[in-house]
Amino acid sequence: MEVLYFAWVRERIGLPRETVETSAETVEELVEELRAREERYAAAFADISALRVALDQELTDFDAPLAGVREVAFFPPMTGG
Amino acid sequence: MRIQVQEDIFDPGAVLTDFSAGRTDMGAVVTFTGVVRDTGDRQLQAMEIEHYPGMTEAALTSIAERAVERWSLGDVLVIHRHGHLVPGEVIMMVATAARHRRDAFEAADFLMDYLKSRAPFWKREVTSDGDASWVEAKDDDEAALERW
C-alpha cells in the first residue's frame, strides 16, 4: 500500500510517500512495523496521540482495519482556515 | 456549490460579486476571509501551507455538503490557498447565500470551525530570522466543533 506523510511527519521521516509491503491488520500494527524500522520512524511515531491518520483519504482512528485499503496517510492535527 | 483549492492569490471582492450575481431569491450573503497575520513580536516573513491533494477537495466538499443539509442555503463557496503566502495576503474565503441571514451566518461559522480542524492543511510560519515552525492546532479549535 501507499503510505503518505505530511508536515512534520514528512520532515522527520524524510519522505513524502513510499510503498510499504505489510501484513498489518490495523493502523496500530502498521505503526508498530514502521517504528521498528529506523530511528527516524520511531521519532515520527513516538506519540500517536499527536498524530492523525486517514485511510483512502478519510480520517479515521488508529484501531481501524487495513483490509482493502490502498492509501494510508499520517499527519499532525490539521491547521486550516 | 463551489470548492476551490489553489496556489494563486484571488480577489475576495471579485469572488463575492460573482457569487452573488444572477440570484434574486437570496436575501443574505455572508463571507469570511482569512488573511495571513504578522504576529508582530517575531516578524512573520511568510506562511507556507501544505495540503493533501485529493483528500483536501473531498474533505471541503463533505464539510460544505453537511452545511447544505443542515441549513437552508442557496449556495456555498469555499476557496483555500496553499503554497507560499506573505502577510496581508488572503488565505481562504467562505461564502454562504441564504434566504435569511441566520442560516447564512450559522453555516459560515460552521464551515470555518470545520475547515480549521477537519480539512487537511498544515501551516508553517517562516520568520525574518529564517526560523520555520509548524503552527500547532489549538485545543479551542477542536472544542469549537462540539458547538455543532
Q: In this structure, are residues B85 and B47 in contact, taking their beta carbons and an 8 Å threshold?
A: yes
Q: What is the pLDDT of residue B130?
A: 84
Residue B39 pLDDT greater than 90, yes or no: no
By percentage, how much of chain B surpasses pLDDT 90? 84
pLDDT band (50, 70, 90) for residue A5: very high
Residue B23 pLDDT greater than 90, yes or no: no
Which residues of chain A neighbour B58 with C-beta distances below 8 Å? 57-58
Yes or no, beta carbons of B135 and A79 under 8 Å apart: yes
CATH of the domain at B54: 3.90.1170.40
Task: State mean pLDDT over B78-101.
Answer: 97
Task: State mean pLDDT over B116-142.
Answer: 92
Beta strands, E only, chain A: 2-5, 17-19, 52-55, 58-60, 71-75
Q: What is the pLDDT of residue B64?
A: 98
CATH of domain A2-75: 3.10.20.30
Q: How many CB atoms lie within 10 A of CB A54?
A: 22
Give pLDDT tens digits for B9-18: 999 999 999 9
The alpha carbon of residue B43 and the mean position of all alpha carbons in its chain are separated, in whole angstroms, by 24
Measuring CA to CA, how many Å separate B63 from each of B23, B32, B130? 23, 16, 35
Work out how many domains chain B is built from and give that number. Answer: 1
ipTM: 0.95
Measured CA to CA, the distance from residue B139 to residue B121 in angstroms comes to 17
Yes or no, beta carbons of B122 and A81 under 8 Å apart: no
Domain range enclosing B12: 2-147
Task: State mean pLDDT over B57-67.
Answer: 97
pLDDT band (50, 70, 90) for residue B139: confident
Residue of A nearest to B93 (CA): A81
Q: How far is B7 from chain A (nearest CA, A)?
A: 14
Yes or no, beta carbons of B137 and A57 under 8 Å apart: no
Nearest to B80 among A6, A75, A80 (CB): A80
Residue B42 pLDDT greater than 80, yes or no: no
Residue B70 pLDDT greater than 80, yes or no: yes
Measured CA to CA, the distance from residue B34 to residue B47 in angstroms comes to 13
C-alpha cell at A60: 479515521
Give pLDDT tens digits for A12-59: 999 999 999 999 999 999 999 999 999 999 999 999 999 999 999 999
pLDDT band (50, 70, 90) for residue B143: confident
Which residues of chain B neighbour A77 with C-beta distances below 8 Å? 117, 136-137, 142
Please report the number of interchain residue pairs, chain A to chain B, with beta-carbon separation below 8 angstroms: 69
Q: In this structure, are residues B145 and B117 in contact, taking their beta carbons and an 8 Å threshold?
A: yes
Length of chain A: 81
